[in-house]
Amino acid sequence: MISEQTRKRLKNQSDILRTIRRKGATSRSFISKSCGIRKASVTNICRDLVDRGSLNEKTPGFYRSEIELSSEYWRSLSIYINSEKIVATIVDHNGKDYEEWTQKIGNRKTPEKIVSSIVSLIKKVLESEKKFIGIGISVPGIVNAEKGICLSAVNLGRWHNFPLVEEIVTRLPAHCPNIVIENDANAGLMGNHWFGGFGEKLENSLYISLGEGIGCAQLMDGNIIRGCRFSAGEIGCLPSGNEKRPCSCGKMDCLQTYCGELGIIQSVNRISKTPTSYSISELCKLAKDNPKIRQSLDLSYQPLVQQICTMVALTDPAQIVVGCPDPNMDSIIPEILSAGLKKQLGWTDNEYIPVLAGLHPIKSGILGAAVSVFKKAFQDEPPLQYS
Ligand SMILES: [Zn+2]
């Protein structure tokens, strides 16, 4: 059991690390003021962290030197899983990524196959002797992040209460750093929150990611909303139409069968009555100068607009961030959703909520997996022995 003194020091240490993360290079007196921690304690804790290599002094050995997080130390191995591939990348606390390793996932998806792919990727990275403090995994499913369990992942085969972290850890060498898992939409939101340049407003925001499926996550006062069963934001399988479109979850007419990538093409075909050979990216590019295509995209995204309306009414976010897998989508989908919401909700200029293009979902998922690692490490970073 840790003493009250150690517990307090741990909390101070975590506050100091968080402050330096947000502020960048800064002085000990700024930290002392903004965290409300005595200068002597800040000095003491920072000295430990500098000795450990976790913090750098900009002018080494000079007391008044600004200090910053070390980008050599604060590195995560981020793993991103979607239905096609698994990507592993080293990411530092500035969101800079280094070497990347990728493994394709075949058509037969099972938890065991995914686990063995993840394990072989991690082993490859360990063999390369790259340094990282933890492993973050972005999972396209409902996860209990605290227990490391994947409850379900409809686009990834049959998963049911699968102890993902445990299954991976037992196949790795004992010295391997800790693993944290996060739902992919939550990871995407956190990647945008820390590295997307959206500023403080993102503390209260709604995030929608578009791809084969539809992800959604929400941040309230800086905290991710997870829900009692960890399925907050699972809007992809909400009932949304009556055309009997089959969904990978086994049900019919889920939102993702209308507003996922294939669903949109299907809807555009139905509206224009002539099958299009265009991809969603090409349709978005053409829609800028072609009012007919624009109109059919407007109509096709209506089921998603409807669901976002309800969420906006429930939580009143400061902004809505949309992660699109293609730059052509970035330049028009936020506009389509914004126009749809304005019409549905009858927004006046005062009520208007900005809808903005976020980072590419793979990029933000990778960055967000790193955020989970750093956030946990800020809490868990053990204090060195001190007198
Ligand atoms: Zn479904």
Bridge-based pairing of strands 319-323 and 205-210 is parallel
pLDDT score for 385 = 38
Q: Is the pLDDT of residue 383 over 50?
A: no
pTM of the model: 0.92
68-115 pLDDT tens trace: 999 999 999 999 999 889 999 999 999 999 989 999 988 888 899 999
333 alpha carbon – ligand 1 mean position (Å): 22
What's the per-residue H, E or C state across 300-316?
HCHHHHHHHHHHHHHHC
Give the pLDDT of residue 274: 78
**Rounded percentage of the chain residues whose pLDDT exceeds 90:** 77
Q: How far is the CA of 317 from the centre of ligand 1 (A)?
A: 26
Q: What is the pLDDT of residues 273-313, one digit of tens each?
A: 877 789 999 999 999 999 999 999 999 999 999 999 999 99
List all residues 6 or more positions away from 297 whose beta carbon is below 8 Å from its beta carbon: 264, 268, 283, 284, 287, 332, 336
What stretch of H or E contains 102?
A: strand 97-104
pLDDT at 381 over 60: no
C-alpha 257 to ligand 1 mean position (Å): 7
Question: Is-contact 121 101, C-beta < 8 A?
Answer: yes
Mean pLDDT score, 261-270: 94
- Other beta carbons less than 10 A from residue 84's beta carbon: 12
Which domains does the chain possess? 4-70 (1.10.10.10), 75-188+364-378 (3.30.420.40), 197-358 (3.30.420.40)
Ligand 1 centroid vs 213 CA: distance in angstroms? 9
At 184, the amino acid letter reads: D
The C-alpha atoms of residue 110 and residue 105 are separated, in whole angstroms, by 10
CA distances (Å), origin 80, targets 5, 86, 102, 136, 361:
39, 6, 10, 8, 10
What pLDDT score was predicted for residue 116?
A: 93
> How many whole angstroms from 249 Cα to the centroid of ligand 1?
4
Q: What pLDDT shows up at residue 157?
A: 82
Q: How confident is the model at residue 4 (pLDDT cuts 50, 70, 90)?
A: confident
Looking at residue 372, what DSSP letter applies? Answer: H
The mean pLDDT value of the chain amounts to 92
Distance from Cα 370 to the centre of ligand 1, integer Å: 29
Q: pLDDT of 123-132, one tens digit each?
A: 999 998 889 9
Are 245 and 266 in contact by the 8 Å Cβ rule? The answer is yes
Mapping DSSP onto H, E and C, the string for 10-59 reads HHHHHHHHHHHHHHCCECHHHHHHHHCCCHHHHHHHHHHHHHHCCEEECC
Strand pairing report for 75-81 and 85-92: antiparallel
User: Phi and psi at residue 104, in whole multiples of 5°?
Assistant: -75, 150
Sorted by sequence, the CB contacts under 8 Å of residue 293 that are 6+ apart come out as: 268, 272, 283, 286, 287
Biggest CA–CA distance in the chain, Å, is 77
Cβ burial, residue 40 (10 Å; 0-12/13-18/19+): exposed
Backbone angles phi, psi at 8, to 5 degrees: -65, -40
**Ligand 1 mean position to 256 CA, how many Å?**
7
Identify the three-state secondary structure at position 371: helix
pLDDT one-digit tens code per residue, 17-62: 999 998 999 999 999 999 999 999 999 999 999 999 999 999 888 8
pLDDT of residue 380: 62
The span from the CA of 61 to the CA of 42, in Å, is 16
Q: Which pair of structure tokens corresponds to residue 327? A: 């730059």
Cβ atoms of residues 284 and 326 within 8 Å: yes
pLDDT of residue 386: 35
Give the confidence band of 248 by pLDDT, cuts at 50, 70, 90.
confident
| pLDDT over threshold 80, residue 171 | yes
Residue 110 CA to ligand 1 center (angstroms) comes to 18
DSSP 352: -
* 229 Cα to the center of ligand 1, angstroms: 18
pLDDT at 287: 94
